[in-house]
Amino acid sequence: MLVREGIKALIFVCLVALGIPICCGQNIRAVKEDGRGLTIWDTFAHSVGKVLDSSNADVANNQYHLYSDDVQLMKDMGMDAYRFSISWSRIYPNGTGEINQAGIDHYNNLINALLAQGNNDKVKYWITFNEPHTVAVQGYDVGLQAPSRCSILLGAFCRAGNSASEPYTVGHNMLLSHAIVVDIYKKKYKPKQQGSIGITLDSFWYEPATNSSADIQATQRAIDFNLGWFIEPLIVGDYPKSMRSRVGSRLPRFSPAQSNLLKGSFDFIGINHYTTWFAKENTTNIIGVALNDTLADSGTFTFPFVFGKPIPDRANSVWLYIVPHGIRSLMNYIRQKYGNPLVLITENGMDDGNSPLTSIKDALKDKKRIKYHNDYLTNLLAAIKEDGCNVRGYFSWSLLDNWEWGAGFSSRFGLYYVDYNDKLRKRYAKDSVKWFKNFLAS
């Protein structure tokens, strides 16, 4: 069992520092209120065939109106940190130009409601981007997320794009803009505010499908094309060597000045981690010929299980297999390869399905989620206490059931059940809420 002093929590873009060992994250949406402008996700969610259950996120869990109640839910659980994101279309409805004061007021009200439950200053921890790898690959390679650009499925799913180049261009621009923002923050705001700034990267852990040298090398490439793509420029100022050699001229280059700006452009690294997959060398070249994208460039097949080895238990999502030791392995990899930077686990959790045949009473009995968090936290504690990994925060995804991107409402990650049939989106505590409350108090 994780002891309370094992992890000290921080917060997210904004990370409002109320000060706990563990906390939750959440998306916030109220699509047409108080001057909010439209985004690529609004367009995506209203496009036919893009979302699994054909839903949209115009009203997700209604936290825009219920944030005060949700802050109290967190307080009652014993949590005193909250990770939330700023909707820039609420601040700049047209993408640029005049600031929408109603948007500023909303986030001030939310932050003040959080601070009323603690005694710290305003936001002290900032994150520039959440999951740039997901944005680049899902949005511009395979087209399964907004803005749904790709060439591998052109006509069938995407209407425009170039899967061979756009993911790398998008990732490159996100890294450069991250570095610029961090530089501005450190020079202009940090001396007075004394805050911290970082970036959140999503990463599976990968293990070789066999003990062959080819599969071991393929596993390293799988990591390079996932985590390494975005963390290595922040550490050494350039992409992993495997990406440089395999992508070639399609992978943009950093100027010496850009490289210097990137190196060390973080106070902490946020990691979103859920699962572990196996990796095997792609010797067929079939994918490379057919797709010509980031997967083909890696020369690796990745999959959640292999024949001859026990198949891990699975959450609702088809990609999310429950492998608790993966989080320890990933933390040790970061420690050993990248000099043990300060890490916050900014997302970790699992989802249940959303069957209309499941009663609310039964949906609240989430034993699998409790075991998931207990086992992942146990491995994380071992990474900290036994291995010396510099991990200082843990955030559960998520506080509430939510509209989960391309999965829509078919996936429930929340500690609290949200009744989507109720106009106000009433919340019900799952058993995992009681577990976290007891865990934090023990």
- Percent of the chain with pLDDT strictly greater than 90: 84
pLDDT of 18: 33
With CA atoms as reference, report the closest residue to 180 among 204, 202, 199: 199
Residues noted as catalytic:
131, 347
What are 43-90's pLDDT values in tens digits? 999 999 999 999 999 999 999 999 999 999 999 999 878 999 999 999
With CA atoms as reference, report the closest residue to 370 among 425, 441, 315: 315
Separation CA 337–CA 218 (nearest Å): 17
Helix, strand or coil, per DSSP, at residue 36: coil
Q: Summarize the confidence of residues 30-55 as an average pLDDT.
A: 93
Q: Token pair of 132, please?
A: 């740039």
pLDDT of 117: 83
- Which runs of consecutive H residues, i.e. helices, occur in 263-403? 286-290, 294-298, 325-338, 360-363, 367-385
Separation CA 151–CA 85 (nearest Å): 30
Mean pLDDT of the chain: 91
Q: Summarize the confidence of residues 291-315 as an average pLDDT.
A: 92
- Amino acid at position 90, single letter: R
Measured N-to-C along each axis, helices 367-385 and 431-441 cross at an angle, to the nearest 10 degrees, of: 30
Which domains does the chain show, CATH number per domain? 13-28+122-441 (3.20.20.80)
Which residues share a beta bridge with 200? 130, 270
Would you tell me how many other CB atoms lie within 10 Å of the CB of residue 90? Answer: 24
- One DSSP character per residue, 367-381 reads HHHHHHHHHHHHHHH
With CA atoms as reference, report the closest residue to 371 among 411, 333, 323: 323
The answer to whether residues 319 and 275 touch, using CB atoms and an 8 Å cutoff, is yes
Phi/psi at 248 (nearest 5 deg)? 65, -135
pLDDT of 186: 97
Helix (H) or strand (E) holding 429, with range, is strand 427-429
What are 339-366's pLDDT values in tens digits? 999 999 999 999 999 999 999 999 999 9
Q: Torsion-angle region of residue 100: left (phi > 0), alpha (psi -120 to 50) or beta? A: beta
Which range is least confidently modeled, 170-179, 278-287, 368-377, 415-424? 278-287
What are 122-159's pLDDT values in tens digits? 888 999 999 999 999 999 999 999 999 999 876 678 88
Q: Summarize the confidence of residues 369-393 as an average pLDDT.
A: 98
Q: Token pair of 419, please?
A: 């009744």
Rounded to 5°, angle at Cα 401 from 66 and 89:
60
- Regarding predicted confidence, which is higher, 260 or 3? 260
Separation CA 416–CA 20 (nearest Å): 19
205-208, strands of its sheet edge to edge: 205-208, 276-281, 300-303
pLDDT of 423: 93
Q: Summarize the confidence of residues 16-20 as an average pLDDT.
A: 35
pLDDT of 122: 80
Whether the pLDDT of residue 321 is over 90: the answer is: yes
Separation CA 282–CA 288 (nearest Å): 9
With CA atoms as reference, report the closest residue to 242 among 220, 212, 271, 215: 220
Separation CA 141–CA 163 (nearest Å): 4
- Kindly indicate the confidence band of residue 22, based on its pLDDT and cuts at 50, 70 and 90: very low
Q: Token pair of 66, please?
A: 């219920």
Residue with tokens 């995992």: 432
pLDDT of 289: 41
Q: Which residues contact 192 (CB under 8 A, 6 or more apart)?
A: none
Separation CA 134–CA 206 (nearest Å): 17
Q: Summarize the confidence of residues 197-212 as an average pLDDT.
A: 98
Helix, strand or coil, per DSSP, at residue 31: coil
Whether the pLDDT of residue 373 is over 80: the answer is: yes
C-alpha 41: how far from chain center: 16
Helix, strand or coil, per DSSP, at residue 353: strand
pLDDT of 21: 35
Whether the pLDDT of residue 6 is over 80: the answer is: no
Helix (H) or strand (E) holding 320, with range, is none
Using DSSP bridges, classify how beta strands 416-418 and 427-429 pair: parallel, antiparallel or unpaired.
antiparallel
pLDDT of 297: 95
With CA atoms as reference, report the closest residue to 305 among 343, 269, 277: 277
Separation CA 299–CA 100 (nearest Å): 47
Q: Token pair of 335, please?
A: 């420690």
What are 80-126's pLDDT values in tens digits? 789 999 999 999 999 999 999 999 999 999 999 998 887 586 888 99
